[in-house]
Chains A and B, each alone.
Chain A
Amino acid sequence: KQEVTQIPAALSVPEGENLVLNCSFTDSAIYNLQWFRQDPGKGLTSLLLIQSSQREQTSGRLNASLDKSSGRSTLYIAASQPGDSATYLCAVRNYGQNFVFGPGTRLSVLP
């Protein structure tokens, strides 16, 4: 059974800092991995999708990497802004199975 963990559970940084969020999964036979952002009381917004054959994906200030062999993915946020404050969730999908979500990392970027 796939299990997904995220470290840290919460993170508070001053504006402008670069930061890394971590996602770990136990079953490396994944189909894809997706990073989401959730604002309080809102749904999820997809940030980046990495297919199993890919090593990383980039969108603007965001870069997500995937290392299947070690069961890890990282989300790198460059030059953080107060508007980046949200909960970040990673979700892993194995072949023929549903997405399994991590517990999320609550990020606060202080002005």
Chain B
Amino acid sequence: GAVVSQHPSRVICKSGTSVKIECRSLDFQATTMFWYRQFPKKSLMLMATSNEGSKATYEQGVEKDKFLINHASLTLSTLTVTSAHPEDSSFYICSATDSAGANVLTFGAGSRLTVL
């Protein structure tokens, strides 16, 4: 079945630094990748949608200069949290879908970001 790998699973950084999270589709070509943020005991909040080779589409209220998304290939998308602050601490999850008819959404295991 489709597998999405997300790395790192946990990261702790100092306030003001930037952190990059990678999302890879291992056995399929992900034409579209999604980035979500999840607060404790809450559901997923879509941050942005990225299509390979084009700029990401950000949801209302999400700062594009804060959360940089790159989808340079059909198997890799990255989320960079720039100048991270403690309020950026959260669980970030990526998902990917291919162009097949079923459009099943496959998720990565998530990345826990803690900003000190």
Contacts and interface: CB of A to CB of B under 8 A. Distances in A.
Tier of interface size on chain A: 20 to 34
A76 interface: no
Interface string A41-80: 1111110010100000000000000000000000000000
Contact of B34 (A36, A51, A99, A104): A99
Given A43-B107, A98-B34, A51 B43 contact: no
Tier of interface size on chain B: 20 to 34
Contact of A42 (B95, B104, B105, B109): B109
Q: Which of A91, A99, A102 has the most CB of B within 10 A?
A: A99
Interface of B: 6, 34, 41-44, 46, 49, 91, 93, 95, 102-110, 112
Interface of A: 31-32, 34, 36, 41-46, 49, 51, 89, 91, 93, 98-99, 101-104, 106
